[in-house]
A and B are shown apart, each in its own frame.
Chain A
Amino acid sequence: MIEVKNLKKSFKDGESTTEVLKGIDFIAKSGEFIAIMGRSGAGKSTLLYQMSLLDEPTSGEIFIDNKNTFSMTPAEKTSFRLIALGYVFQDYALLPEMTALENVALPLLMQNIGEATAFKKATDALTKVGLENRLNNLPSKLSGGEQQRVSIARAIAHEPKILFADEPTANLDNESSSIIMNIFKQLHKGGQTIIMITHEEEYSKFAERIVHLDDGKIVSMEKN
């Protein structure tokens, strides 16, 4: 479960301060699939970065499984991200000189779970996203949709508590986007908590709940 309390984030630009998040209160239960929507500049990505511990909020609190993340040191946050969180970036963010399997296995290897286990889990995750035949391909030999599937495999291989996805279909065609969204749907069915940012109404329907953001505030929450 993730709970956000009165979360604020502002950016200083010289003398002026821009408040991007203006007191967000929000709870995502375990196993929930939430889509965050809103126009550009509404604060969607900023909210995702705070919740996923990639950035420091100006004020407010974030609890993940009742653990206050505010008190964590940067090293603890890094370790927590490695173990408990998963990320799917808009531009896949794969390491170009590593194969699909190595990209997925890397975070597992960093958890010191043993090479054999890491590669077994990485293979399972790639099989889950339908890339069991592309294990040894470099990202450059994969299509955009396949690269994003590798990215999802990397994000789920260590069975994270929460999977964060930042516009995962933004760079993909319709067919690839549908494949990706169906993977999310299957993951959700399997009990995975997912928080996803999307611009597209069509894909937000895959989520259980849609959170609408505008001008740094939650303006509506609706159930699908």
Chain B
Amino acid sequence: MLIIFVMFFTFLNLVVVSGILVGLIQGAIDAVRTHYTSDIIISSLNDKSYIENSPEVLSIVRSLSQVDAMSARYIDGGTLEANYKTRSNEKEKPNTAVASITGIDPIAEDKVTNLSKFIVEGEYLTPMDYDQVLLGAYLVKKYLPIDSPGFTALNDISPGTKIKLKVHGVEREVVVKGIIKAKVDELSMRVFMVDSQLRSMIGRNDYNVAEISIKLKPGADPSVVRDILKQNGIDKVAKVQTYADAQPKFIKDMVDTFALLGNMLSSIGLVVASITIFIVIFINAITRRKFIGILKGIGINEGAIEVSYILQSFFYALCGSVIGIIVLYAFLEPWMALHPIDFPFSDGILVAPIGGTMMRIGLLMLTTIIAGFIPARLVVRKNTLDSILGRN
């Protein structure tokens, strides 16, 4: 029973350690997909700050049957100033922060990215809000108490606080309606306001937006929709990417790195398991050496005796793995999907694809069988008579 327990924990070590390490990044990737890019993101070309002919692009997107919802965003750089009212003289340093100002349709945005769920203070925007903004938490000092020369955040900010917003040389006093705190940096570092407000500030009368996030209906393949959009010529005026395309390469490298790290840690567990099995089988075979001798004496061939020990090892590994699979897929994985681990930069889930799990089980079986065979062979090969008589 104890050995099966060891095998069970070895299985968990093999699958769960790397699963959590990969899940740590996967959680971040999933969050970016769910709360920022959605399934497909159309963004401005590198040399442009907006998508040309956006209304036409939006109508093409809207016409696709696979599309469930979409959110078009106006984006421009801007500065925020918090202490402009309390500054007593011009020598006092203004409390400013630089941010991407994002104009959204609050209802459409919420439908696509569920942005309202990240409000930690105040309220979410409504389409009728005038001169009201949502601030990302990274722009508010109390949520990001970092004092870096290259980075500033606003002091004493809470819902209702008035701040000065300057975009494209246009300055406007706005009220902080709410604060957004998410583990997706693109949300926590932005300022959100109603699209018509920002459009009027930046003079975007052509309705050309900078970003369009598209949420597809369940079962729709993002790459297929991406290709349809490209076939419609959208790639000539914008970058059309699936959530996977939009991932920076370093994220993919991090997934690979963490998977490798997980495998390295798991391999230690595998070594421990094989040593455990080796010791168990060796002690078992040594203490039963006389009986092994007797079996050989009455004519049972060595191979059959070795196979019996291999089967014993196999049984331990199989039981541990079966229990592990049940615990993993019936409890751990669904539980962690519902209750992700609260890492500072992501909600870590458990990534345990069945193919990888099966491969690890195979590895565990193989290691265990070898670890069982070697001591059995050592003992079985001893002289039959010496074994029967207990001679060394």
Contacts and interface: CB of A to CB of B under 8 A. Distances in A.
Interface of A: 49, 54-55, 75, 78-83, 85, 87, 89, 93, 95-96, 106-107, 110, 154-155
Contact of A82 (B291, B298, B302, B384): B298
B388 A82 contact: no
B385 interface: yes
Nearest to A106: B300
Contact of A79 (B291, B294, B299): B299
Nearest to B301: A78
Those 4 A-B pairs whose CB atoms lie nearest each other, nearest first: A82-B299, A81-B299, A93-B294, A55-B385
B294 A89 contact: yes
Contacts of B300: 78, 82, 106-107, 110
A107 B299 contact: yes
B144 interface: no
Contacts of A106: 295, 298, 300
A49 B298 contact: no
B296 interface: yes
Contacts of A80: 299
Interface in B133-166: none
B388 A54 contact: yes
A107 B298 contact: yes
Given A54-B384, A54-B385, A110-B304, A78 B291 contact: no
Interface of B: 290-291, 294-302, 304, 384-385, 388
Contacts of A87: 297-298
A54 B291 contact: no
Given A93-B291, A95-B291, A110-B304, A81 B388 contact: no
A4 B295 CA distance: 25
B253 to A, nearest CB: 54
B298 A154 contact: yes
Contacts of B384: 54
Nearest to B303: A75
Contact of A78 (B294, B296, B388): B296
A49 B301 contact: no
Contact of B301 (A54, A79, A85, A95): A79
Given A82-B299, A89-B388, 9 more contacts: A54-B385, A78-B299, A82-B300, A85-B299, A89-B294, A96-B291, A110-B299, A110-B301, A155-B298
A96 B304 CA distance: 18
21 contacts: A49-B385, A54-B384, A55-B385, A78-B301, A79-B299, A80-B299, A82-B298, A82-B299, A82-B300, A82-B301, A85-B299, A89-B294, A93-B290, A95-B294, A96-B291, A106-B300, A107-B299, A110-B299, A110-B300, A110-B301, A155-B298
Nearest to A85: B299
Nearest to A52: B297
Nearest to B383: A55
Nearest to A166: B388
Contacts of A95: 291, 294-295
A195 B388 CA distance: 19
Contacts of A85: 299
Contacts of A154: 298
